[in-house]
Structure 1
Amino acid sequence: MEIEAYLRDSFPSGDEDNTFTGNVDNEINGNWILAPTGSIHEARLKAKVKRRLRKNSSRDSGRGDSLSDNGDVVRAVVPPTSPKGKLLNRRSRMGKGRGLPKKGGAGGKGVWGTPGQVYDEDKVDFKDPNYDAEQENCIYETVVLPLDEETFEKTVTPIVQEYFEHGDANEVAELLAELNLGSMRGDVPMLAVSLALEAKASHRELTSRLLSELCECVLTAADVEASFHKLLKELPDLVLDTPGAPQMLGQFIARAVADNILPKSFIDGYKGRVDCEYARAALDRAAVLLRMSRWTGLRIDSLWGSGGGQRPVNQLIKEVNLLLKEYLLSGDTVEAERCLRELEVPHFHHEFVYEAVIMVLESKGNRTLQMILQLLKSFCASTVITVDQLRRGFERVYLDMADLSIDVPCAYSLLEQFVEQSFDAGVINKKLRDLCPCRGRKRFISEGDGGRLKLESC
């Protein structure tokens, strides 16, 4: 009775309507005559089962469901070996997709494993027949292939160039230790020295320190000696790019001997056996420096000097003053420019401008004024001194004029004259010229002279 009540309350589907038309319901004079109850119950049961089968046809297509005569679902038993069996069915069991087999019915890449692969017993029911239980205790390590000549140069050159910027030899040692240098280990000093020959003096000093540091952990004395032998053989090629390569290589050899990373017998082994004039010049340079260190106390460890950023300010000021004095004696602008570049202190060029202007004020002569003006004009044209450094140098002079006028009474008038000529020569701009402080009228100008400066009273 409960089933009949449920079926009476449910709405018939389209199939049910087709089933009942002409067989179940009849209409006589506007009145419906119901069919027998047993026929309605049987028809609705069949329609319900059909809807269920149609809804799950994609995932239950291989199960072999069917209907019995009385409307019950009969599930056919399919043998496991049948292609329609559940075990070998490749259709998706998630109820998604188009009902097609996964991966087109085939396995993916590596579905059968790789040769020599060992499978987990908990996940797979089979192993490689060649599997040995002792392989479980194997330790696997990453093998780094040794560098060839081309790869070595591409890998080590950036490391050395970055070292020229930060100067941390420990970082270079760590990076080289991670590489499998192999037979190229002895070429590390050769590459570093070759790069330093084309660099600055401070970089050559860093290279000498690097060789000394690497000889304790990465390189051996034999590697360093072999590198310098190769450098002497390749000097004819190095001279093409760096004309002063023989003298600089001689200084590298002398520094290496002084640092005890090159044997003292290295130079003596070449006596009477050198045919190349460049190699002979390098060995002679090294021998002279070592003799001077023994006889005159020359410090080989400071042979290259120290970089501009590592020098104390007092030492830089002394060298700037020496540079200006030598220029006033020789008048060689090119040599002065070379000396200023070798100081390697572009951030300290304002001190050069300051000392040059002070020298003009203290000299009280027109010759010094004209030579300094010519020098500053040449440096500004070649961009050795930037506009910012030039401005800072003049502004420092402006701020110190009160103290300078005590030692040089006519400092204000000389400064005005120099600033005006610098503006006319294009060394400074109008804004910097207008910032020049004015001189005091009481000490230097007489009312009867019409405002004319008496230079002879200075």
Structure 2
Amino acid sequence: MAADCEAWLNANPVGAADLSDFILSGEEDNGGSVINSRNTNNEINGNWLSSSSNTIQEARLKAKAKRRLRKNSSRDSGRGDSLSDNGDVSRGTSAVPTSPKSKLMDRKSRMGKGRGLPKKGGAGGKGVWGKTGEVYEPVEVDEKDPNYDEAQENCVYETVVPPLDERDFEKTVAPIVKEYFEHGDTNEVAELLAELNLGPMHSEVPSLAVSLALEAKASHRELTSRLLVDLCRTVLSHSDMESSFDKLLRNLPDLVLDTPGAPQLVGQFIARAVSDQVLTKSYIDGYKGKVDCEYARAALDRAAVLLKMSMGGLRIDNHWGTGGGQRPVTQLIKQMNLLLKEYILSGDGKEAERCLRELEVPHFHHEFVYEAIVMVLESKGEKTFKMVLHLLKSLSMSSIIAVDQMKRGYERVYMDIAEISIDVPRAYFILEQFVDKSFSKGIIGVKLRDQCPCRSRKRFVSEGDAENVKLERF
């Protein structure tokens, strides 16, 4: 302390005139002396002022420095910073900080307080649910809890699907049926319908499927009949089927507006359903003498006639036919050959186009082109040559046969011409003529024409023969 006072006196020298302001009382109390100040304004915040300088301003600066140092020392306790009596900061033995700021991602406290443990036991931070390896046990219910309810202990929570109403039924089920027309998987339809809470709308599923099939192709009607059989065994009941067909008979006046042949088609659906045991045999008999609508009467009469014909050997299970790629390849090839033979006999190109469309195999039209050209190679005479050329021209112009299918059909003939020529010796010559005519008609392009194979000749009859052959070829 004496050293600090001496340092302060050296920094602030006191004159003789100032010493006269202090009066010693001369009285001693308990071995000590009392110093009284004649001018109390000479001390500010414990700092003695000097009259020879701007004492008030210096005292304020020293007091401000002390306050700042006290504030910092309270934050950084233990670091050894202190302020001497003259306002200078003195450094003692600084303590090592408990949480160095140089470490990144350190979860320890930055305040220098506490025991230096990580926050939240190391389980803190964004996105952290708890300590590593911590397993949460089931929370025991406190019976003394004011919110405790004894009825909730044995509760089983399940996902509840609201039942479909009439507005949402068609929006939900119609896409499922239309998608089924593409893939033909009845199990997938049954699974999707089982996930829905149809409620009282179960009987609406068959009527919706039949209504969509009336406006579709024959193959889609066949798929619909198969769908009704599979759904009747899993999702729907016989009563649902009967209610659905009752609704179809009532709605026939509206269905005829969009599909004029709806009564006959609905009658075929009813006959097929009775044959597949979806409907009972007494379903048609229950309407005798009770039908006032002419369309419903026509549908029931059509169903009754088909059922009587089935007793004579007619197979109702195949009256829709099977369309698209679901039929075997051998059956498709047989039908294409019959189509070509019928066209050669009748010469009706429109009927041939309609029959080719009904096959519903645009990906297999190259087989039709192949069979047509082979029929030309095996024929005798120009009739078949001209008729097939005219048919391919019309099918190409109407885009019924795509360009890639036409090209693939010609290329298949090019590949098999060696085997065909074994049975038809003039196959190369006829093929060259047919390809040239096809190019002149615009059926094929130059590149496909140039790919046509020709049988190489061992020798020429004369020197000018080679030029004639080249001119004919090109």
TM-score when scaled to structure 2? Answer: 0.68
Aligned to 2:353: 337
Distance in 2 separating the partners of 1:180 and 1:243: 34
Q: In structure 1, give the amino acid aligned to 2:418.
A: A
Q: In structure 2, give the amino acid aligned to 1:345.
A: V
Aligned to 1:319: 335
Aligned to 1:73: none
Query: Contact between 1:235 and 1:245, CA under 8 Å: does it hold in 2?
Result: yes
Aligned to 2:246: 229
Could you list the per-position Cα deviations for residues 174-216 of structure 1 after superposition, in whole angstroms to 9, with x for gaps in the alignment? 2111212122110100011111122222222221111111112
Distance in 1 separating the partners of 2:64 and 2:220: 100
- After TM superposition, the structure 1 = structure 2 runs for residues 288-327 of structure 1, keeping only pairs within 5 Å, are 288-296=305-313, 298-327=314-343
1:161 lines up with 2:178 in the alignment: yes
Query: Contact between 2:284 and 2:304, CA under 8 Å: does it hold in 1?
Result: yes
Aligned to 1:251: 268
Aligned to 1:48: 69
1:140 lines up with 2:140 in the alignment: no
Distance 1:329 1:272, change over 3 A: farther
Aligned to 1:383: 399
Aligned to 2:15: none
Q: More deviation in 195-204 or 253-262?
A: 195-204
Q: Aligned residues, how many?
A: 369
Aligned to 1:152: 169
Q: In structure 1, give the amino acid aligned to 2:397.
A: A
Distance 1:447 1:359, change over 3 A: farther
Q: In structure 2, give the amino acid aligned to 1:324.
A: L
Distance in 2 separating the partners of 1:352 and 1:308: 15
Query: Contact between 1:251 and 1:289, CA under 8 Å: does it hold in 2?
Result: yes
Identify which of 301, 311, 317 aligns with 1:284: 301
Query: Contact between 2:45 and 2:63, CA under 8 Å: does it hold in 1?
Result: no
Distance in 2 separating the partners of 1:450 and 1:122: 108
Q: In structure 2, give the amino acid aligned to 1:299.
A: R
Overall identity of the aligned pairs, in %: 65
Distance 1:42 1:247, change over 3 A: closer
Distance in 1 separating the partners of 2:301 and 2:463: 72
Q: In structure 2, give the amino acid aligned to 1:165.
A: E
1:432 lines up with 2:448 in the alignment: yes
Q: In structure 1, give the amino acid aligned to 2:165.
A: D
Q: More deviation in 217-226 or 277-286?
A: 277-286
1:400 lines up with 2:416 in the alignment: yes
Distance in 2 separating the partners of 1:242 and 1:424: 43
Q: More deviation in 138-147 or 191-200?
A: 138-147
Could you list the per-position Cα deviations for residues 338-363 of structure 1 after superposition, in whole angstroms to 9, with x for gaps in the alignment? 21122122111111000001111112
Distance in 2 separating the partners of 1:326 and 1:384: 19
Distance in 2 separating the partners of 1:276 and 1:366: 57
Distance 1:302 1:22, change over 3 A: same
Distance in 2 separating the partners of 1:47 and 1:348: 94
Structure 1 residue 46: deviation in Å? Answer: 4.9
1:190 lines up with 2:203 in the alignment: no
Q: In structure 1, give the amino acid aligned to 2:385.
A: L
Distance in 1 separating the partners of 2:343 and 2:64: 120
For the aligned residues, what is the CA RMSD? 4.0
* Structure 1 gap segments, 5+ residues each: 9-18, 30-34, 57-93, 96-119, 454-458
Could you list the per-position Cα deviations for residues 272-327 of structure 1 after superposition, in whole angstroms to 9, with x for gaps in the alignment? 3334333233222222222222112x222223222332222221111100000111
1:176 lines up with 2:186 in the alignment: no
Query: Contact between 1:364 and 1:414, CA under 8 Å: does it hold in 2?
Result: no
Distance in 2 separating the partners of 1:22 and 1:135: 72
- 3-state SS of the aligned residue for 1:216? helix
Q: In structure 2, give the amino acid aligned to 1:326.
A: E
Distance in 1 separating the partners of 2:373 and 2:415: 13
- After TM superposition, the structure 1 = structure 2 runs for residues 84-95 of structure 1, keeping only pairs within 5 Å, are none
Query: Contact between 2:323 and 2:358, CA under 8 Å: does it hold in 1?
Result: no
Could you list the per-position Cα deviations for residues 66-100 of structure 1 after superposition, in whole angstroms to 9, with x for gaps in the alignment? xxxxxxxxxxxxxxxxxxxxxxxxxxxx99xxxxx
Distance 1:191 1:25, change over 3 A: same
Query: Contact between 1:254 and 1:290, CA under 8 Å: does it hold in 2?
Result: yes
Identify which of 357, 362, 367 aligns with 1:351: 367
Higher gyration radius (CA): 2
Query: Contact between 2:372 and 2:388, CA under 8 Å: does it hold in 1?
Result: yes
Distance in 1 separating the partners of 2:63 and 2:420: 123
Query: Contact between 2:267 and 2:299, CA under 8 Å: does it hold in 1?
Result: yes
- 3-state SS of the aligned residue for 2:182? helix
Structure 1 residue 121: deviation in Å? Answer: 9.7
Distance in 2 separating the partners of 1:428 and 1:390: 8
Distance in 2 separating the partners of 1:167 and 1:290: 26
Aligned to 1:410: 426
Structure 1 residue 450: deviation in Å? Answer: 6.2
Distance in 2 separating the partners of 1:387 and 1:51: 88
Q: In structure 1, give the amino acid aligned to 2:324.
A: G
TM-score when scaled to structure 1? Answer: 0.70
Distance in 2 separating the partners of 1:241 and 1:364: 48
* Structure 2 gap segments, 5+ residues each: 9-42, 77-109, 112-138, 470-474
Distance 1:41 1:433, change over 3 A: closer
- After TM superposition, the structure 1 = structure 2 runs for residues 75-114 of structure 1, keeping only pairs within 5 Å, are none
- 3-state SS of the aligned residue for 1:269? helix
Aligned to 2:129: none
- 3-state SS of the aligned residue for 1:146? coil
